[in-house]
Amino acid sequence: MPDPDPSRPDAHEAEPRGAPKAPVRRIWEYARPHWKALVAGGLLTFLGGMTGLVQPLVAKAVIDALGAGESLVGPLLVLTGAVIGGAVISAAGSFVLERTGQSVVLGVRRRLVSRLIRLRVAEVDRLKPGDLVSRLTADTTLLRTVTTSGISNALTSSVLLVAGIVLMAVMDLFLFGVTAVVIVLNVVVMVVVLPKIGRATEASQAALGEMGSMLERVFGAFRTVKAASAETAEARRLDEAAERAWSKGVAVAGWSAVAGVTAWLAINIAFLAVLGFGGARVAAGDLEVSSLIAFLLLLFYLMEPISTLAESATELQSGLAAIRRIDEVGELRREDTDAPGGGDGGADVPGGGAPPPDPGPDGRRPARVGFTDVTFRYAEGLPPVHHGVTFEAAGAGLTALVGPSGAGKTTVFSLLERFYDATGGSVRVDGVDVRDWPLAGLRGAIGYVEQDAPVLDGTLRDNLLLAAPEATEAAIADIVRRARLTELVGRLPDGLDSAVGHRGTTISGGERQRVAIARALLRRPRLLLLDEATSQLDAANEAALKEVMLEAARDTNVMVVAHRLSTVTSADRIVVLDAGVVRAVGTHEELVAADDLYRDLAASQLLTTP
């Protein structure tokens, strides 16, 4: 048996994370796998844009030809070709970019799903699932805009702008100087406005996430909300969050408008300035009219790249806000629940590398469970739940955990499933510390029925097969019979293929517990953990399932948490937990004779007289 090493939990902790990367680099990391498509789309858009650049030059040629009395056919044909060709190329470019944006989002969503589904239980306990959902949906959608139009538009507009500026400088250095002053002023305004857009977008997305969490809270306890007549109060909370999202959205709109109008004003002021100064120079005979017209056309042509650049910068800020929220999910600790060779290998809580212990010739050897001096607290700052729990539950048989509410019984199961790691001592299955088991192997050996026996949205069959997707029809039929589900299956319109509703809303609490027990048994576990699994059953069904439990205990290590001692009087051993320590272990008769707390518990349930 490996000796517990107090420093060990740290060995399983996350590697220290590196310094946070610059957000623009993060955008590039998302886009990098698609760089070829991005370059292709960007090039097409750029080419489409360049055809526009030809237009002022051809217009100058047309005017010059008019003045010289030459034919207009050639320049007009070139102009028409440039317009049509430019339109087709631009459309192709925009499709390629849009497709790339969708692919980037797909990649991000896949990565997020893979991370979310593998989060540590402790992380999900403290987070709000509604907010996580909004990160997967709303924030990734925001990212799409950046990677579609944002990056490539910014690049192509910059190139077009530079090309236009060079052309201007070549055409007339003085007028170019006038234009440059106006454009620099525009850039200064942008530098001030853009970070405000980023911050407002992030706050707006956070408010959306908050709405998701609130909705989840309401639908998670819908009947309670109704019964408490709390609809109005809950709706008000949702309204407030919606208003927060609205006000931040309005702020984004306001700052985006400032950015847009600044770009527009810059071009128009530049136009007026060029018209004024250029007109004066034409009047003085220093500049040809055609050159002034071409310069003005060029200026108008640059209006589009400049406003696109402003738009892209705005989108980029929104995308960065989304990336910050998406990246926060990457910071959460997750576990390696994949079979060896599976997963992405980057888990913060890896399963141990030791080969799982031999499960016996038929894969059904009952597991041995051992706790030695286990200490545990749920989080820093919270009081310890276990103060040194020690007990053995080896081989086949029924072990019951009893004790007052809050004594730490469910926590014993959570440590066995490795939802949490003990802070000290050792939790062993088959003599191997659970941290040394591959996680998938450990959980594969265990069947677990949670306290509130959740049923997932889907059919009854989906629910039974959740932990044992390969189970045969015969095995399912056998489990249905043993878990006393035959009557339910017969009553449901489509038998096993009937939907059981969101959280099992169309079946009763007792039926839900039986479905959960059947699901755990179908897996043919070597260790079966039942947490208050029969608390909602009527006397007849409880007696029947007690039979099932005892039958399973013949070749499985079955551990049950029970408040109703009637369920466990025939257990092979009863572990009495009180305030995080094991105060006694024995059979019912031994404990009634030797342990005051157990005797009181038994007496209060009329099993014995004090």
User: Applying CB under 6 A, which residues contact ligand ATP?
Assistant: 125, 378, 382, 385, 405-411
Pick the closer one to ligand ATP by CB: 28 or 378.
378
Residue with smaller CB distance to ligand ATP, 82 or 561: 561
Give me 80's structure tokens.
């028409």
Q: Using CA atoms, how far apart are residues 301 and 94, in angstroms rounded to an integer? A: 19
Bridge partners, 585 (sequence order): 575
Q: Closer to ligand ATP by CB, 36 or 126: give it.
A: 126
CB of 385 to ligand ATP, least distance (A): 4
To the nearest whole angstrom, how small is the minimum distance from the Cβ of residue 115 to ligand ATP?
21
Shortest spacing between CB 401 and ligand ATP, in angstroms: 8
When the beta carbons of 405 and 609 are compared against ligand ATP, the nearer one is 405
Taken in order 204, 207, 212, 218, the sign of the CA dihedral is negative
Q: How far is the CB of 530 from ligand ATP (least distance, A)?
A: 13
Q: Report the alpha-carbon distance of residue 519 to residue 459 in Å, rounded.
A: 13
Burial of 113 (0-12, 13-18, 19+ CB in 10 A): exposed
Which of 153, 143, 150 minimizes the C-alpha distance to 44?
Answer: 153
Residue (229 or 405) nearer to ligand ATP, CB: 405
Instruction: Give the span between the Cα atoms of 97 and 42, in whole angstroms.
Output: 7
Residue with smaller CB distance to ligand ATP, 123 or 327: 123
CB of 319 to ligand ATP, least distance (A): 35
Nearer to ligand ATP, 284 or 379 (CB): 379
Q: Can you spell out the DSSP letters for 515-565?
A: HHHHHHHHT--SEEEEESTTTT--HHHHHHHHHHHHHHTTTSEEEEE-SSG
> Which tokens go with 361?
């010739």
Q: In whole angstroms, how close is the CB of 377 to ligand ATP at the nearest point?
A: 8
Query: CB 338: neighbour CB atoms within 10 A?
Result: 17
Ramachandran region of residue 361, left (φ > 0), alpha (ψ -120 to 50) or beta? alpha
Minimum distance from residue 410 beta carbon to ligand ATP (Å): 3
Give helix 73-117 / helix 289-330 axis angle, nearest 10°. 10
Q: Strand 369-376: give its sheet, edge to edge.
A: 386-393, 369-376, 424-429, 432-433
Nearer to ligand ATP, 67 or 454 (CB): 454
Q: For residues 528 and 521, is the Cβ–Cβ distance under 8 A?
A: yes
Q: How far is the CB of 477 from ligand ATP (least distance, A)?
A: 33
